[in-house]
């Protein structure tokens, strides 16, 4: 947990920070493509089935694109609170014009009603739930559950923290081996880099706690569907029985 003022909105609404994030897009997307595809593959739809997907904190729409690419009759609502990210996303999403729309939505402060569809068949989030404070993670997961159609799925691809410092150290050792320059870079961050890093970890939370939030609000089939060190895809589904 970091102290000081929350910079999340300022960072994601800054042309400079978004420009830097977008500039690294090709490398990042190549690294994460398999995970976004797995999220698409985990959904319980036939390849010709029409359904509505909600991508929360969609950014330039990487997770939604994997789903829309796998299910040609699916449509997507991409929710984000950054005009800058949504403007960048318009280019990346161009192949899916007519099958998606962006919605301005702050996951922490905005009410679902009126902004997002009352019922969706699937929800994904990628690399953004760690920007949401824990109290709101729990209530957001409850809202997702209550707006999913019976049998609908929620999948989240995100970094998590370890409860156990020995586990955290093991993750760090392996990460440092994979990227030998990372430790030196971390030790010499500029002020802006430190601000972005602090924002990155501020609300990052242990995996078990987040699985507990899902179970507590009624999700079934809660599992960690993929994991590498601190990076996970977890999720679950709403009961197929109408409530
Ligand atoms: C690291 S980017 C990930 C974007 C995309 N989901 C992906 O995986 O490539 C984080 C995204 O979350 C969005 N975000 C952060 N906090 C948010 C909030 N409170 N409400 C809505 N979007 C938020 C940012 O604007 C940004 O687009």
Q: How far is the CA of 128 from the centre of ligand 1 (A)?
A: 5
Q: What is the pLDDT confidence band of residue 5, given thresholds at 50, 70 and 90? A: confident
Residues linked to residue 154 through DSSP beta bridges, in sequence order = 123, 236
Q: Is the pLDDT of residue 45 over 80?
A: yes
Q: What's the average model confidence in pLDDT over 70-84?
A: 98
Q: Tell me the best of 81, 104, 199 to mutate to test the pocket of ligand 1, counting ligand atoms within 8 Å of each CB and taking the most.
A: 81
Helix 15-23 and helix 83-92, axial crossing angle in degrees, nearest 10: 30
**pTM score, two decimals?**
0.96
CB neighbours of residue 93 within 10 Å: 23
Phi/psi at 4 (5° precision): 90, 175
Provide the pLDDT for residue 242. 78
One of 3.40.50.2020, 3.40.50.150, 1.10.4190.10, 3.40.50.460 is the CATH number of 8-237, namely 3.40.50.150
Alpha helices in the chain (DSSP H): 8-12, 15-23, 25-42, 62-70, 83-92, 134-147, 165-178, 182-187, 191-202, 207-216
Give, for 124, the enclosing helix (H) or strand (E): strand 120-126
Q: Which two tokens stand for residue 77?
A: 């609502």
- Residue in 226, 222, 192 with CA at minimum distance from that of residue 209: 222
Substitution site in 126, 131, 143, 202 for ligand 1 pocket (most atoms within 8 Å of beta carbon): 131
pLDDT in tens, 7-23: 999 999 999 999 999 99
- Quote the CA–CA distance of 2 and 202 in Å, as a whole number: 5
Task: Inform me whether the pLDDT recorded for 232 exceeds 90.
Answer: yes
Name the average pLDDT for the chain: 96
**Model pLDDT for residues 52-74, shown as the tens digit of each residue:** 999 999 999 999 999 999 999 99
Report which DSSP code applies to 77: E
**DSSP assignment of 182-223:** HHHHHHT--HHHHHHHHHHHHT--BHHHHHHHHHHTT-EEEE
Determine the Cα–Cα distance for residues 60 and 16; give it in Å rounded to an integer. 16
How large a percentage of the chain has pLDDT more than 90? 96
């Amino acid at each position: 947990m970091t102290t000081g003022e929350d910079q999340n909105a300022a960072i994601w609404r800054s042309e400079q920070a978004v420009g830097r994030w977008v500039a690294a897009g090709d490398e990042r997307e190549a690294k994460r493509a398999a995970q976004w595809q797995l999220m698409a593959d985990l959904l319980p739809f036939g390849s010709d089935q029409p359904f509505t997907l909600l991508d929360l904190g969609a950014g330039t729409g990487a997770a939604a694109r994997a789903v829309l690419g796998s299910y040609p009759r699916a449509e997507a609502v991409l929710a984000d609170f950054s005009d800058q990210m949504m403007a960048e996303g318009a280019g990346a999403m161009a192949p899916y014009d007519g099958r998606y729309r962006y919605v301005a939505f702050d996951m922490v402060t905005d009410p679902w009603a009126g902004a997002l569809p009352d019922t969706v068949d699937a929800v994904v989030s990628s690399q953004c739930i760690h920007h949401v404070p824990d109290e709101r993670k729990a209530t957001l997961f409850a809202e997702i559950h209550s707006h999913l159609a019976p049998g609908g799925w929620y999948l989240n691809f995100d970094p998590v923290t370890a409860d156990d410092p020995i586990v955290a150290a093991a993750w760090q050792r392996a990460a440092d081996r994979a990227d030998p320059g990372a430790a030196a870079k971390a030790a010499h961050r500029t002020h802006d880099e430190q601000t972005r890093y602090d924002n990155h970890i501020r609300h990052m939370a242990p995996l078990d706690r987040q699985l507990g939030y899902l179970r507590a609000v009624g999700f079934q089939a809660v599992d960690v569907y993929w994991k590498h060190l601190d990076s996970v895809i977890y999720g679950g589904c709403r009961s197929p029985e109408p409530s």
